[in-house]
Structure 1
Amino acid sequence: MTEPESPDPDWWRGSVIYQIYPRSFQDSNADGIGDLQGIVQRIGYVASLGVDAIWISPFYRSPMKDFGYDVSDYCDVDPIFGSLADFDDVIAAAHDAGIRVIIDLVLSHTSEQHAWFANSRASRDGSLADWYVWSDPKPDGTAPNNWLSIFGGSAWHWDPRREQYYLHNFLASQPDLNLHNPHVQSALLEVMRFWLNRGVDGFRFDTVNFLFADKDLRDNPALEKEQRSDILTPSVNPYNYQDHVNSKNRPETLDFIARIRALLDEYDAVTSLGEIGDATKGLQLLGEYTRGADRLHMCYAFEFLAVEPLNASRVAEVLYAVNQVARDGWPAWAFSNHDVMRHASRWGLSPAAQRLYATLLMCLPGAACLYQGEELGLEEDDISFEDLQDPYGREFWPEYKGRDGCRTPMVWDQTESNAGFSSGVPWLPLSNENRHRAVHAQEAEPGAILHHYRNAIAFRGKHAALKVGRQEGVYVFTDVLHFQRVTEEETIFCAFNMSDTPSMHSLPSGTWKTIGRKIGSASPSPDGRLHLGPWQVCLAKKISEAAQSAPP
């Protein structure tokens, strides 16, 4: 009998990961909220994209004050999404389709309704009394320090039961766990083991750099105005006024990451993807958190999720920084996700520009993350205050309208009720503009952006240099970005004209063959000159001297 082939432990390198926000993907029971059986129903579509894995945003039991990122039970499914049996169906359907499953895990905080917090707040002497970050007030009754919450105001909330403050980096209903306590770490590791034993292929760790706070609760220093950045939070948020050296980004994080990696290494071919939420140190932390066999497999920072337009110079700047501070790490890149305005709207992209960015994402070193609907060219929906669900948006309205505009339901068939998402009333409204971008309509249109994404993903999958090759020769000329991806067997030249202006260039020395015609790759003229039209790319493979001299 032939032994079954062992799974590839490095499948995640160069992988393409499709993020599913389950509330908005597919509703299977007409309550207007997407669910796990909805994912099962649409797994064939996801497989048709050619992606390697799905990342599912939280579906755990939760009061949904932050829509699942406030967990009240890590080891159960919230009834609005289904049951554990439904989750098992997702695993089975995905694996049958050749797709791995990564689930979103929130380790830095829980819901105030979690049993751990109920025990902790009941008494200063209880068995879980120090499972969360508690502190006495200052002598004048004010909060222990100057730390701020991302969602606005102080990061401390007074609890009359204990007559102490507890820390919350996000909503007051999301108390921060005390990971300095080894029992808390062990409990979280057991949560991971629960899902690994259920068949998941890895975890996306939410805000992984928020896991630890300074034991001594020292104040954060101020940032000078010119140092402030709105990469992570909108400019109207005073969170940007501090350098958060004590409330997050603590060195103790690396020791816990080592414990996480040791657990993951007990299982075959599982992976980890960390989200690093920091406006100034994201790439540096990416390098620290993914460097070596006792770290996370990959991380992503917010550089390409920023409001700042992503032009050729900015891409080169980020790639140069990665080479300096994360050369031995493994990045993951995304242009959109559930927390930021969709990039088609954020950067004001034309259809041609959207295609170029899709191709660029597939050519960058590291893993690539797509957000549901990105492949359809969905734009940000305009949500009225009356329809707004996001607490972040309600706090800073109207200067910041929150995250609901990127969380509206998927559009499957423009001829069906609610574009095929639900036969009930959707939890967020759909716009007519996005309805016309539905999957059904694009499947029938050969030139639709959906097919471009499929072709770009397939192109990446055919070339090892794009999946795992090193990057060399990053260069910018006017608005054109050049670089090469290189393995021992293959060298691919990539050029991107990130503007509305035509540009003339030359290929590097050597003999090159144009590839990627299905995704619009330009060919050089007979004299070797390369004419790039607006938002056009050139992808070319180097032909070795041996291949040139080989007989036909």
Structure 2
Amino acid sequence: MDTDWWRGAVIYQIYPRSYQDDNGDGVGDLRGIARRIPYIASLGVDAIWISPFFTSPMKDFGYDVSDYCGVDPMFGTIEDFDLVVATAHHHGLKVMIDLVLSHTSDQHPWFKESKRDKTNDKADWYVWADAKPDGTPPNNWLSIFGGSAWEWHGGRMQYFLHNFLTSQPDLNLHNPKVQEALLDVERFWLRRGVNGFRLDTINFYFADKLLRDNPPLPPHERNDSIAPGVNPYNWQRHIHSKNQPENLDFLRKFRREMEPYGAAAVGEVGDAQRGLEIMAEYTAGGDKVQMCYPFELLQPQRLTAHGAEEIFARLYAAAPDAWPCWAYSNHDVVRWKTRWNLTDEAMRAYVVLLMCLRGSVCLYQGEELGLAEANLDYNDLRDPYGIQFWPEFKGRDGCRTPMVWDSHGHAGGFSHGRPWLPVSPAHLVRAVDVQEEASDSVLHHYRRAVELRRASAALQKGTMTLPKAMGNVLTFERHVGEERLFCAFNLGGGASALQMPSGHWENAARSLGGIDPDEVATLGGWGLCVARAV
């Protein structure tokens, strides 16, 4: 059993509602995923991460769980999930599932019991608090989805905490019984054959016991990577509503349950100010989660050479042995081609950069096709986040539209029925069938970039020198054993000078447009050089 499989792995994220509809109801399902496993394996990735498929009223499309151990009928059955696991394993892929442990749906049996009164067996399984004397909420905490993070419940005559929708009450992990119930959920899926977990909002598990107010955040420090700028959530320094030290002991417990199975976890760190430092805390030492991904590469602003230098300087200062999991896109942010306003040429350079960074990698379905954000009309929206803040913020539906498989088929080959979100006409010209036929397509470029990583122990598991920026050019070296790689990327459209280190080098990325090292004096716009010492 390779317990280190996650280190340097490339993980492919599947948003099940939008990947492949097998039964024609317009919603993607587990059997559809199983059907597309051979395609995913052809990308050369190591694992899949499946966003929530659990029983849910779908107020937040599965991130509001009402049964952690059940499959929602819209996605199929538990036997369908077993089929996905078996098919993935047959094709050499690990399976990671998305666990949402900070909160449940208000339809979960635990909350239904908890809200009855203040004396039932689960009365303190959620974060309840009395009102202030004037009836207002216990403190100033805000919800990421807008407004106060507290909702009044007339039955208990108390407020309950919700960091997201009002229908997503926060669990009280200070209660050992809640922790044990969540560890039971983990054990259930490990026994079912999963190889790991993506842990949603991993730094939200605990809230300050004293429920102290968050202090204000100076305007120049506000960052809209966690919540849209139209939401004043970003106006606070969230030192009490999340990021609590008690989380570390719970993560140690979670890690101990995974170890006999060789499983691994990647945590989503939702913090705009201290994301890298929290990731370092949660992954350092080898006794908590194996990986975390912060939001540094999910920012609205395009990654520059100097920005990358700063990110890694902060990361190495916080904890040199921390293990990041980098991503440009996921189901919660505008697709990165649109977000950073990239040409295909620029995307190709950034993809190779991603595969050369120290850490693991998450790819979001459709990015291997170079898909841009879909433009939707207000009447097509399904995301409550977008409906709440339209038109200043259009929500997350634009990155969640169906995968396009067939440029000529109904709904892009996603479904025989009417898709739950419309298929973007602009996506059809980039469908899988079109790109499979073109050897120079973005899809094949992704395959070659993943192969570059898989063929190099240095890129998967090696050390990485602190990246250095000279103008638009970012350089660093990767090293393990006898293998040494020099990596240079021009993250701009104009030519820039490049000085190769001394020694003898060979081109390790010729198929990706990499420049021969013995010919390098300048790197053209969006040019790259990945060279192996010989």
The bucket for the TM-score relative to the shorter chain is over 0.9
Alignment of 1:292-331 (within 5 A): 292-331=285-324
Residue 372 of structure 1: aligned partner:
365
- Equivalent position to 2:463, from 470, 474, 480: 470
Give per-residue Cα distances to partners, 1:303-358, cap 9 Å, x unaligned. 00000111111111111111111312110000000000000000010010010111
Alignment of 1:172-191 (within 5 A): 172-191=166-185
Partner SS, residue 255 of structure 1: helix
Contact 1:236 / 1:399 at 8 angstroms: preserved in 2?
Answer: yes
Contact 1:231 / 1:306 at 8 angstroms: preserved in 2?
Answer: yes
Residue 2 of structure 2: aligned partner:
8
Unaligned runs of 5+ in 2: none
Residue 141 of structure 1: aligned partner:
135
Shift of 1:275: 0.4
Contact 1:209 / 1:253 at 8 angstroms: preserved in 2?
Answer: yes
Answering whether residue 56 of structure 2 is matched by residue 62 of structure 1, we say: yes
Partner SS, residue 159 of structure 2: strand
Answering whether residue 32 of structure 2 is matched by residue 38 of structure 1, we say: yes
Residue 227 of structure 2: aligned partner:
233
Contact 1:257 / 1:295 at 8 angstroms: preserved in 2?
Answer: yes
TM-score (norm 2): 0.99
Give per-residue Cα distances to partners, 1:68-113, cap 9 Å, x unaligned. 0000000000000000000000000000000000000000000000
Name the CA distance, whole Å, in 1 between partners of 2:428 and 2:374.
11
Shift of 1:531: 2.6
Would you say how many aligned residue pairs link Structure 1 and Structure 2? Answer: 534
- Equivalent position to 1:332, from 321, 325, 328: 325
Partner SS, residue 183 of structure 1: helix
The percent identity for this pair of structures is: 57
Partner SS, residue 494 of structure 1: strand
Give per-residue Cα distances to partners, 1:421-459, cap 9 Å, x unaligned. 001000001111111100000000111000000000011
Name the CA distance, whole Å, in 1 between partners of 2:170 and 2:260.
28
Answering whether residue 410 of structure 2 is matched by residue 417 of structure 1, we say: yes
Contact 2:110 / 2:122 at 8 angstroms: preserved in 1?
Answer: yes
Partner SS, residue 341 of structure 2: coil
Name the CA distance, whole Å, in 1 between partners of 2:466 and 2:108.
51
Name the CA distance, whole Å, in 1 between partners of 2:195 and 2:450.
21
- Equivalent position to 2:386, from 393, 401, 405: 393
Name the CA distance, whole Å, in 1 between partners of 2:130 and 2:522.
67
Residue 475 of structure 2: aligned partner:
482
Name the CA distance, whole Å, in 2 between partners of 1:154 and 1:531.
53
Alignment of 1:89-488 (within 5 A): 89-267=83-261, 269-488=262-481
Partner SS, residue 521 of structure 2: strand
Partner SS, residue 284 of structure 1: helix
Shift of 1:473: 4.6
Shift of 1:394: 1.0
TM-score (norm 1): 0.96
Give per-residue Cα distances to partners, 1:502-541, cap 9 Å, x unaligned. 1222211111111111111001345xx4331111110101
Contact 1:524 / 1:531 at 8 angstroms: preserved in 2?
Answer: no
Name the CA distance, whole Å, in 2 between partners of 1:302 and 1:411.
27
Equivalent AA in structure 2 for residue 465 of structure 1 = A
Shift of 1:395: 1.1
Contact 1:17 / 1:368 at 8 angstroms: preserved in 2?
Answer: yes
Name the CA distance, whole Å, in 1 between partners of 2:491 and 2:521.
15
Contact 2:506 / 2:517 at 8 angstroms: preserved in 1?
Answer: no
Contact 1:286 / 1:326 at 8 angstroms: preserved in 2?
Answer: no
Name the CA distance, whole Å, in 1 between partners of 2:8 and 2:286.
17
Runs of 4+ deviating beyond 3 Å: none
Shift of 1:291: 0.8
Partner SS, residue 415 of structure 2: coil
Of residues 292-301 and 372-381 in structure 1, the stretch that sits farther from structure 2 once superposed is 292-301
Name the CA distance, whole Å, in 2 between partners of 1:224 and 1:66.
31
- Equivalent position to 2:530, from 509, 525, 539: 539
Residue 15 of structure 2: aligned partner:
21
Shift of 1:488: 2.1
Contact 2:334 / 2:396 at 8 angstroms: preserved in 1?
Answer: yes
Equivalent AA in structure 1 for residue 482 of structure 2 = E
Give per-residue Cα distances to partners, 1:205-236, cap 9 Å, x unaligned. 00000000000111101111111111211111
Residue 549 of structure 1: aligned partner:
none
Of residues 76-85 and 482-491 in structure 1, the stretch that sits farther from structure 2 once superposed is 482-491
Name the CA distance, whole Å, in 2 between partners of 1:495 and 1:315.
12
Contact 1:413 / 1:419 at 8 angstroms: preserved in 2?
Answer: yes
Equivalent AA in structure 2 for residue 285 of structure 1 = I
Shift of 1:156: 0.3
Name the CA distance, whole Å, in 2 between partners of 1:531 and 1:479.
12
Name the CA distance, whole Å, in 2 between partners of 1:489 and 1:421.
46
Contact 1:61 / 1:76 at 8 angstroms: preserved in 2?
Answer: yes
Name the CA distance, whole Å, in 1 between partners of 2:335 and 2:136.
39
Name the CA distance, whole Å, in 2 between partners of 1:71 and 1:401.
24
Contact 2:517 / 2:531 at 8 angstroms: preserved in 1?
Answer: no
Equivalent AA in structure 2 for residue 419 of structure 1 = G
What is the root-mean-square deviation of aligned Cα atoms in Å?
Answer: 0.8
Contact 1:289 / 1:296 at 8 angstroms: preserved in 2?
Answer: yes
Equivalent AA in structure 1 for residue 198 of structure 2 = R
Contact 2:308 / 2:467 at 8 angstroms: preserved in 1?
Answer: no
Shift of 1:415: 1.1
Contact 2:201 / 2:270 at 8 angstroms: preserved in 1?
Answer: yes
Partner SS, residue 305 of structure 1: coil
- Equivalent position to 2:76, from 71, 82, 86: 82
Name the CA distance, whole Å, in 1 between partners of 2:474 and 2:441.
25
Contact 1:52 / 1:100 at 8 angstroms: preserved in 2?
Answer: yes
Contact 1:61 / 1:79 at 8 angstroms: preserved in 2?
Answer: yes
Partner SS, residue 464 of structure 2: strand
Partner SS, residue 152 of structure 2: strand
Name the CA distance, whole Å, in 1 between partners of 2:416 and 2:194.
30
Shift of 1:420: 0.1
